[in-house]
């Protein structure tokens, strides 16, 4: 009996410090939060020069962290941009550059992100992270493709854009079903009141933080706004012009898209409030200094502004794919820095993996790079070139300050080239290709080599038979 007690005492002495060490290691792993808005342009933040909006909380976030002024998404529309963020991979490489019958996935689409792909959530989950998604998914609405099958412990949100609903202006053509709101894999509401979505997703993210504050967590909060139709909660409608209030009050079994276009500043103000709620919750629970927060957008503006950039959503001009991005981690990212190195959403997966002590998938090509030292201002961008795709078509290549556009003209798709110096001409107005033929040749070679690589190293999307729109089970 005495020897048994001695052995038990020895085990307690050995295991207790080990358990404490493991618990401490879990606490010191950084938390990660990605706030990803929809169709917010380069100038749709006041800290990026926007005078038509007011974003004091995001501005404060930038003052306490860094503005990334050459930060790119991998596509200028929803689905491919989000696929790249989740997988660290160019959309064309994983056959997610478009939906099966449209530029993005639609309701009841047979196509979705392949469950064999490895998402940021899955990478972090292997390291003990709790993972939650609150907002818009848009990588497949069939059960096989939902976030809960891609590494997320919790999902409260929409399977796709909130305009994929019966009130769409082109409903006679699309014939969209009612919009579902999901909790996990269960539809809990049909056609939820979209005026409250920003608020509801924010509240759920706050609850998730409070529930998991003592262990590492990853939150992906893809807000549906400011994608049209614009919606804001009643608190942000108080000071609207009377005429606009009257137009909105007349909505009955339809949505007045034209009237709602006037809500841009209010919608972005509520997004700013949402960011403030997240930051305040981190501070309240003493985990502010151990949480890396990224704010960005999925592509350029549909209604907003991309000044001084050219282009908008759907374009491979800078305004379509260079997005307003702020990153904050007190004590780890120098405060008040404007960082103009080339970085992209694809870089977040390998960067988060490094910071969490996780492994980047080694059995497949990951296009993103570890940019932690770049974010801190210690190194240059690891990207020799960045590639701009519209669906599956390569339309531009950037290397350093140079950007080459490929223009396909005529029935034979004859290719002509245009070269811009983005340092001198951020608005892409002056073709300097004749003065720099050697640069043009180098960028053409980058594009040709990358296209060849995509042919040799690609992975399929996934498809289901007999897809059905999601419905609430009564």
Catalytic positions are: 78, 138
Burial (Cβ within 10 Å: 0-12, 13-18, ≥19) of residue 149: middle
Reduced DSSP (H G I as helix, E B as strand, rest coil) percent helix, strand, coil of the chain, to 5: 35, 20, 45
Burial (Cβ within 10 Å: 0-12, 13-18, ≥19) of residue 337: middle
Burial (Cβ within 10 Å: 0-12, 13-18, ≥19) of residue 129: buried
* Residues near 270 by beta carbon (within 8 Å), at least 6 away in sequence: 198, 199, 225, 232, 233, 235, 236
Bridge partners of 157, per DSSP, are: 135, 182
| In contact, 114 and 137? CB cutoff 8 Å | no
46 DSSP assignment: G
Nearest-angstrom CA–CA distance, 47 and 327: 13
Beta strands in 269-382 (DSSP E): 291-297, 325-328, 337-339, 343-344
Closest by Cα among 176, 199, 180, 198 to 189: 180
Let me know the angle formed at the C-alpha of 411 by 406 and 412, rounded to the nearest 5 degrees: 65
- For 462, list phi and psi in degrees, rounded to 5: -115, 155
Strands 291-297 and 325-328: antiparallel
> What kind and span of H or E run contains 186?
strand 186-190
Nearest-angstrom CA–CA distance, 50 and 297: 15
Find how far residue 198's CA is from the centre of its chain: 16
302 DSSP assignment: S
Beta strands in 346-455 (DSSP E): 386-390, 393-399, 402-409, 414-421
For residues 275-291, one letter each, b for 16 or more C-beta atoms within 10 angstroms of the residue's C-beta and e for the rest, the string is bbbbbebbeeeebbebb
| In contact, 396 and 404? CB cutoff 8 Å | yes
Helix, coil or strand: residue 219: strand
List alpha helices for 326-471, DSSP H: 348-356, 372-375, 437-456
């Amino acid at each position: 009996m005495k020897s048994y007690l001695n052995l038990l005492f020895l085990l307690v002495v050995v295991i207790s410090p080990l358990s404490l060490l493991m618990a401490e290691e879990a606490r010191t792993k950084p938390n990660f939060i990605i706030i990803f808005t929809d169709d917010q342009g380069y100038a749709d933040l006041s800290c990026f020069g926007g005078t038509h909006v007011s974003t004091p909380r995001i501005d404060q976030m930038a003052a306490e962290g860094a503005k990334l002024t050459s930060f790119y998404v991998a596509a200028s529309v929803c689905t491919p941009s989000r696929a790249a963020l989740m997988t660290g991979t160019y959309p064309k490489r994983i056959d997610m550059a478009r939906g099966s019958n449209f530029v993005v996935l639609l309701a009841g689409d047979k196509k979705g992100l392949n469950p064999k792909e490895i998402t940021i959530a899955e990478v972090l989950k292997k390291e003990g992270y709790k993972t939650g998604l609150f907002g818009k998914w848009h990588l497949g609405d069939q059960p096989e493709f939902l976030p809960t099958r891609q590494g997320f412990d919790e999902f409260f949100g929409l399977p796709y854009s909130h305009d994929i609903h019966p009130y769409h202006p082109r409903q006679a053509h699309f014939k969209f079903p009612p919009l579902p709101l999901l909790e996990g894999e269960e539809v809990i509401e049909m056609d939820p009141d979209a005026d409250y979505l920003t608020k509801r997703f924010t509240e759920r993210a706050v609850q998730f933080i409070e529930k998991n504050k003592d262990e590492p967590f990853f939150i992906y909060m893809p807000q549906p706004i400011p994608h049209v139709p614009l919606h804001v909660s009643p608190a942000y409608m108080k000071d609207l012009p009377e005429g606009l209030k009257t137009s909105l009050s007349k909505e009955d079994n339809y949505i007045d898209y034209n009237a709602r276009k006037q809500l841009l500043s209010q919608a972005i103000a509520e997004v700013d409030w949402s960011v403030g709620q997240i930051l305040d919750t981190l501070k309240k629970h003493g985990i502010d200094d151990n949480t890396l927060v990224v704010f960005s957008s999925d592509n350029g503006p549909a209604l907003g502004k991309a000044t001084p950039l050219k282009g908008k959503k759907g374009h491979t001009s800078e305004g379509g794919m260079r997005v307003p991005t702020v990153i904050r981690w007190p004590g780890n990212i120098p405060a008040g820095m404007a960082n103009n190195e080339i970085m992209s959403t694809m870089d977040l997966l390998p960067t988060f993996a490094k910071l969490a002590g996780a492994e980047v998938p080694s059995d497949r090509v990951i296009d993103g790079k570890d940019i932690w030292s770049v974010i801190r201002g210690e190194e240059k961008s690891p990207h020799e070139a960045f590639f701009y795709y519209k669906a599956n078509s390569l339309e531009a290549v950037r290397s350093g300050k140079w950007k080459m556009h490929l223009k396909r003209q005529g029935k034979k798709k004859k290719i002509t080239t245009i070269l811009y110096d983005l340092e001198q001409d951020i608005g892409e107005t002056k073709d300097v290709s004749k003065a720099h033929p050697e640069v043009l040749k180098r960028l053409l070679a980058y594009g040709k080599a990358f296209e060849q690589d995509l042919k040799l190293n690609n992975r399929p999307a996934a498809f289901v038979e007999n897809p059905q729109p999601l419905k609430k089970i009564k």
